[in-house]
Amino acid sequence: MHQDPECLFCKIVNKEIPSEVVFEDDKVVAFKDIDPQAPVHIVIVPKEHFNNIIEAQDNNDYLNGLLNAAVKVAKDQNLDDGFRLVINTGKEGGQTVEHLHLHLLGGRNMQWPPG
Ligand code: 5GP
Ligand code: ZN
């Protein structure tokens, strides 16, 4: 499995940096965001390193793993009234950590359009 030893989220996957893990399987890890933007803010990452979703194109095991984990965690967190999934990509997309990740946000009303 490809990882980047310098990458923050690879270190979280490997438990070299602590995080509050809420779900884990063979493909993904889901953990609480350190700077939550909503009452529930979980970051879901593939265990393999991809810089962004463009690099992960066609890696359907990991892409499915991210989406299925998000739905499972949303149910576990009782987000029955709804939630938002976000993948920031690249500079204009607002991506700050270059390891593909899916944000799960919930517990309040979301605005549209986003900022
Ligand atoms: P991005 O801005 O790249 O879409 O999202 C990166 C997210 O990772 C941000 O929401 C940020 O708060 C979160 N984050 C950055 N560093 C850490 C960390 O060390 N631990 C955790 N749990 N979250 C982090
Ligand atoms: Zn990584």
pLDDT along the chain (115 residues), means of 10: 96 98 98 98 98 98 98 98 98 98 98 94
Interval between CA 8 and ligand 2 midpoint (Å): 6
Q: How many CA atoms lie within 13 A of 33 on its CB side?
A: 18
Q: What angle do CA 20, 23, 25 make, to 5 degrees?
A: 130
Where is 105: in which H helix or E strand? strand 102-106
| Residue from 96, 100, 102, 105 whose mutation best tests the ligand 1 pocket (most atoms within 8 A of CB) | 96
Q: How many CA atoms lie within 13 A of 24 on its CB side?
A: 11
Please confirm, yes or no, whether 99 is among the known catalytic residues.
no
CA 72 from centroid of its chain's CA atoms: 13
Residue 1: the pLDDT is: 85
